[in-house]
Chains A and B, each alone.
Chain A
Amino acid sequence: SQQGEEDPQALSIQEGENATMNCSYKTSINNLQWYRQNSGRGLVHLILIRSNEREKHSGRLRVTLDTSKKSSSLLITASRAADTASYFCATDVGNFNKFYFGSGTKLNVKP
């Protein structure tokens, strides 16, 4: 079974709106990362949040982590058409070398 699962599976918004996607995982983690993938291309790293952190910002991105609920959220503010992509969370399971990716949230930002 998947360690990380994103929700929703698909999200469609207008340009300028905020987009929120969530990630839930099953076991304790050391770190959680978010990645973006454009149309079957390679994934691009967005942000890493450690288990002892609760919130992190990078430009228009805001990531939160709630280890008690085993969940994380990614907020993209003032979305742009160029943000259209699939977004994945990735977690470890105590083993720093094994990565688990969810099936992703497909975001469509309409101009």
Chain B
Amino acid sequence: EAQVTQNPRYLITVTGKKLTVTCSQNMNHEYMSWYRQDPGLGLRQIYYSMNVEVTDKGDVPEGYKVSRKEKRNFPLILESPSPNQTSLYFCASSFSSFNEKLFFGSGTQLSVL
């Protein structure tokens, strides 16, 4: 089944403890992206990747890192999480770019205490 898989679904952590949210897609998509969703603010793009080893900043990249070593995986890294990074996070992929529809993962609800 074609899908974008995110893990974990829920994560509670403490300020400053490094964490990684994994994202994997099985559709051979070139484009992958991370978003955060906060009440009243819609979805905001954190980082995106056009292909392996090609990443670029979205609108809210501060405090996040990404890597794209393999085509199928695009992990989101929070080196030193802070409470303002408490949010619902989504990974998405598409075949090439905005000319194609995005496929979304099920989301990761992160709480930073």
What residues of chain A have their CB less than 8 Å away from a CB belonging to chain B?
2, 30-31, 33, 35, 40-45, 48, 88, 90, 92, 96-104
Contacts and interface: CB of A to CB of B under 8 A. Distances in A.
B107 A40 contact: yes
Interface stretch (B37-45, B64-72, B78-86): B37-45
Given A41-B107, A43-B104, A101 B42 contact: yes
A6 to B, nearest CB: 8
A97 B98 contact: yes
A107 to B, nearest CB: 15
Interface residues of B, number: 29
Interface string B98-111: 11011111110100
Contacts of A101: 35, 42-44
Interface of A is mostly: loop
A35 B40 CA distance: 17
Given A97-B31, A97-B48, A98-B58, A45 B101 contact: yes
Given A45-B102, A48-B101, A97-B50, A103 B45 contact: no
A32 to B, nearest CB: 10
Given A97-B56, A98-B48, A98-B58, A44 B104 contact: yes
Residue of B45, B58, B98 with most partner-chain A CB within 10 A: B98
A99 B102 contact: yes
B59 interface: yes
A42 B56 contact: no
A101 B43 CA distance: 5
B28 interface: no
Given A41-B107, A44-B104, A45-B102, A103 B58 contact: no
6 closest A-B pairs by beta carbon, nearest first, are A42-B104, A45-B101, A101-B43, A103-B42, A96-B97, A96-B98
B33 interface: yes
Nearest to B100: A48
Contacts of B88: 40
Nearest to B31: A97
